[in-house]
Amino acid sequence: MRKNARTKGLGFILITGRADREIVDTGRRLGMNNFIKKPFTPPELKACIEAVVGRL
């Protein structure tokens, strides 16, 4: 996604069931903007999205 001119500016949120260091580090290397671990609540998801795109 980050290498493509059309998609390099898109927000990238990693949703995972395992937020161990290896997964988070891989997401960072791939250019993620934020991550959230399942299960999550609607307010947690909103906060995660707002951290990437600003207040909703």
pLDDT digits (tens, 9 = 90+) for 9-37: 999 999 999 989 999 999 999 999 999 99
pLDDT at 3: 87
Name which of 51, 25, 55, 24 is nearest 37 in CA terms.
Answer: 24
Query: What's the pTM value of the predicted model, to 2 decimals?
Result: 0.84
pLDDT at 12: 95
* Cα–Cα distance measured from residue 3 to residue 45, given in angstroms and rounded to the nearest whole number: 27
pLDDT at 29: 93
pLDDT above 90: residue 1 = no
Task: Go through the chain and tell me how many residues it has.
Answer: 56
